[in-house]
Amino acid sequence: MAGAAASTGEGWSSRTAFVLAAVGSAVGLGNLVRFPAEAGANGGGAFVIFYIFCVCLIGLPILLSETLVGRHGQSSAIGSFKKVAKESGASGWWSIAAGVGMVGAFLILTYYSVLAGWIVHFIGIFIGDTINAIGANTLTNGALADRSVEDVQALLPALHANSTQMLLMHAIFMAITVYAVARGVTGGIEKVAVWLMPIFFLLIIVITIYGAFNGAFGAALAFLFEFHPSRLLDPSVQLSALGQALFSLSLGSALMITYGAYAARDINLAKTSVQIATADTSVAIIAGLAIFPIIFATLAPLSLQAILDGTEQVQGGLGLLFVSLPVAFQAMPGGSIIGLLFFIMVFFAALTSSVALLEASVSWATRRFNQPRWLVTIILGGTAFLIGGWASFSFNSQADFKPLDFIIFADQPVFGIIDELTAKILLPVSALLVAIFVGWVADRRLIDSENGLSGGMHRTWLFLVRWICPAVIAIILLTGLFPGLLE
Ligand code: TRP
C-alpha cells in the first residue's frame, strides 16, 4: 500500500518501513552513549528503574499522541498541529508544542553530529588496527597492541585537542546525513533505516554475547538493576531519567509527529507505538549489558565493589565509550575486530537518528518557504554544522567558556548547555504541551478515530495522557530545575 501522503510523493512504502524508520530514529547515541553514561552518573539501578517507569507511563502515551497528531495532520509537525487544532475549534497557537520540539531536534542535531564524528574517528582507528592485526596474524589478541594503556586513554583527549580533525569528522557525518535527507523520505531516509537497522540488531547481539562470555556480566546486571532506594527519590535523578526517556524515544522533538504524517491510514498506531517503545528500551538495556560487562572486566575487584556499593562512581560521561571501552578492547581477545564492529554499530544507530533529527525541520521548512527539498536540507544541515562546530570548541579552546553558569547549566560549556537545554527543558516542555493538547483540547472523535484503541486500553491511555503525563512532567520539570522547591 502506498504511503499516506502519496500526493506529495512523501510516505513510507510499508508498515515495516515506518516501524524501522521510527525505531531507527529512537535508537541512537541516546541508547548507546547517553543511557549508559546517565545510568553510570546517577547510580545505576535507581536511574534505570525510574527510566523504565517514565517510558511506560509517560513515553508510551505521548508516543501515541504524537504519531496520531501527525497522521491526522498529514503535514510537518507544526502544520499537523495547526490542522488538528483548527478541526477541534482550538487556537493554532497550540502548534507551539511542535515548534519547541522542532527547535529541540535541530539543536540536538548540532552536537549529535559532533559526537557521531568521534565515532567515525574511532572507526578509522580500529580499521587501521584490524588491518595491522591481520598482517601480524594477531587477530585473536587484544586491540591496539602497539600502544600503551596510557596511549589508548589519550585517544579521546588527543582528538579533543585536534580541532581540525574533530571538525572534519563532524563535516563527514553531517554530509552523509544531508545526502540521505536530500534524497527524500522514501528514497533516502527509509532506505537508510531499512538497510542499517537489521545489521545494527545483528551487531548488538553479537557484541552482547561476546561480553557475556568474556566480561563481568554478573557485576553489570547488579549495577544496572540493584537499586539504592534513597536515590530513587532524588529529583535530579528523576529529571535525568525523564529527560533520557523522552530523548531516547525521540519525543518532544517534533519527530514522531513528522514521521506519523508519513504513515498510511491503515496502520494501527497503538500497536506500532508499543513496538517502537519496546525496541528502543530493549536496545538501551542491551547496550548497558553489552558495555558494562566489558568495562567491569578490566576494573580491579575493589573498585568494582565500590561501584556496586555506590561509594564510587563509574567513570561516567563520554569517557565511558571513548576511553574505558577502548582500554577494555585492548585487554580482550579479538579486541580489534570487536572494537571495529562496536563502533560501526554505533555509527549505524547514529545515522538513522541524525536523518530524523534533520527531517523534523526540513519537512517544515520545505512547506513553509516552498523551496526544493535538497536546497532546504543543505541550508539547515549547513547551519547545524556551524553551530555544532562552535560547540565542539567546548572540548578545547572554549572549555572554560560557561556563559550560563546556573541551575542545570552550572559548570557547563556550550556543548553541555545544548544537551541540558534540549533534554531537560525543551523536550519536556514540548511533551507536556502535546499531552495537554491531545488529552484536553483536541476533538475527541478525531482522536478516537486515529488511536487504534478501544475499551479499557483506551480509558487507560486517556487517563495517562490527561492526568499522569502532565502532572508528572510538570512536577519533575519544576523540582529538577529548582531543587530548592522541595525543601
Ligand atoms: N532518540 C535519539 C537517540 O536516542 C535522539 C533523539 C532525540 C532524536 N530526539 C530526536 C532522534 C528526534 C531523531 C529525532 O539517540
pLDDT digits (tens, 9 = 90+) for 8-47: 557 999 999 999 999 999 999 999 988 988 887 787 888 8
How many whole angstroms separate alpha carbon 293 and alpha carbon 219?
7
Alpha carbons 469 and 364: distance in angstroms, whole number: 27
Atom 6, ligand 1: which residue's CA is nearest? 250
Question: 300 CA distance to ligand 1 centroid (A)?
Answer: 35
Ligand 1 centroid to residue 93 C-alpha, Å:
25
Q: Phi and psi (nearest 5°) for 216? A: -90, 75
Q: Distance from the CA of 52 to the center of ligand 1, in angstroms?
A: 17
Q: Which residue's C-alpha comes closest to atom 7 of ligand 1?
A: 250
Q: Residues 6 or more apart from 126 whose CB is under 8 A from it? A: 143, 336, 339, 340, 343
pTM score? 0.93
Write b or e for each residue in 101-137: b if 16 or more Cβ atoms lie within 10 A of its Cβ, otherwise e: bbbbbbbbbbbbbbbbbbbbbbbebbeebbebbeeee
For residue 2, what pLDDT is reported?
37
What distance in angstroms lies between residue 30's CA and the mean position of ligand 1's atoms? 7
**Terminal-residue alpha carbon distance, the chain:** 57
Best probe residue, ligand 1, of 113, 185, 255 (max atoms within 8 Å of C-beta): 255
pLDDT digits (tens, 9 = 90+) for 441-482: 999 999 999 988 988 999 999 999 999 999 999 988 888 788
- Cα 66 to ligand 1 centroid, rounded to whole Å: 14
In ligand 1, the atom with minimum distance to the C-alpha of 360 is: 14
On whether the CB atoms of residues 344 and 123 are closer than 8 A, the answer is yes
Of 76, 107, 197, 247, the residue with max ligand 1 atoms within 8 A of its CB, to mutate for a pocket test, comes to 247
The whole-angstrom separation of Cα 474 and Cα 470 is 6
User: Quick one: 378 exposed, middle or buried, by C-beta within 10 A (0-12, 13-18, 19+)?
Assistant: middle
Q: Is 21 in the pocket of ligand 1 (CB under 6 A)?
A: no
Residues 6 or more apart whose CB falls under 8 angstroms from that of 195 comprise none
Helix axes 217-225, 269-297, angle to 10 degrees: 130
User: Helix/strand/coil (H, E, C) string of 64-94?
Assistant: HHHHHHHHHHCCCHHHHHHHHHHHCCCCHHH
428-450: string of b/e by CB count within 10 Å (b at 16+)?
bbbbbbbbbbbbeebeeeebeeb
The Cα 393–Cα 167 span in angstroms is 10
Q: How confident is the model at residue 302 (pLDDT cuts 50, 70, 90)?
A: confident
For residue 249, give the ligand 1 atom closest to its CA.
Answer: 1
- Tell me the three cell numbers of residue 251: 519525543
User: Using H for helix, E for strand and C for coil, what is the string for the chain?
Assistant: CCCCCHHHCCCCCCHHHHHHHHHHHHCCHHHHHHHHHHHHHCCCHHHHHHHHHHHHHHHHHHHHHHHHHHHHHCCCHHHHHHHHHHHCCCCHHHHHHHHHHHHHHHHHHHHHHHHHHHHHHHHHHHHHHHHHHHHCCCCCCCCCCCCCHHHHHCHHHHHHHCHHHHHHHHHHHHHHHHHHHHCCHHHHHHHHHHHHHHHHHHHHHHHHHHHHHHCCHHHHHHHHHCCCHHHHCCHHHHHHHHHHHHHHCCCCCCHHHHHHHCCCCCCCHHHHHHHHHHHHHHHHHHHHHHHHHHHHHCCCHHHHHHHHHCCCCCCCCCHHHHHHHHHHHHHCCCHHHHHHHHHHHHHHHHHHHHHHHHHHHHHHHHHHCCCCHHHHHHHHHHHHHHHHHHHHHHHCCCCCCCCCCCHHHCCCCHHHHHHHHHHHHHHHHHHHHHHHHHHHHCCHHHHHHHCCCCHHHHHHHHHHHHHHHHHHHHHHHHHHHCHHHHC
pLDDT at 5 over 50: no
Choose which residue among 103, 106, 111, 250 to substitute to test ligand 1 binding: the one with the highest number of ligand atoms within 8 A of its C-beta: 250
Q: What is the mean pLDDT of residues 143-152?
A: 92
Query: What is the per-residue pLDDT across 90-118, written as a single tens digit (0 to 9) for each?
Result: 999 999 999 999 999 999 999 999 999 99
Mutate to test the pocket of ligand 1, among 23, 25, 256 (most ligand atoms within 8 A of CB): 25
pLDDT at position 334 over 80: yes
253 lines ligand 1 (CB under 6 A): yes
Helix axes 96-135, 414-421, angle to 10 degrees: 130
Q: What is the pLDDT of residues 381-390, one digit of tens each?
A: 999 999 999 9
Atom of ligand 1 at shortest range from CA of 251: 9
pLDDT band of residue 6 (cuts 50, 70, 90) is very low
Range name among 230-244, 346-360, 420-434 with the lowest pLDDT average: 230-244
Higher pLDDT, 247 or 480: 247
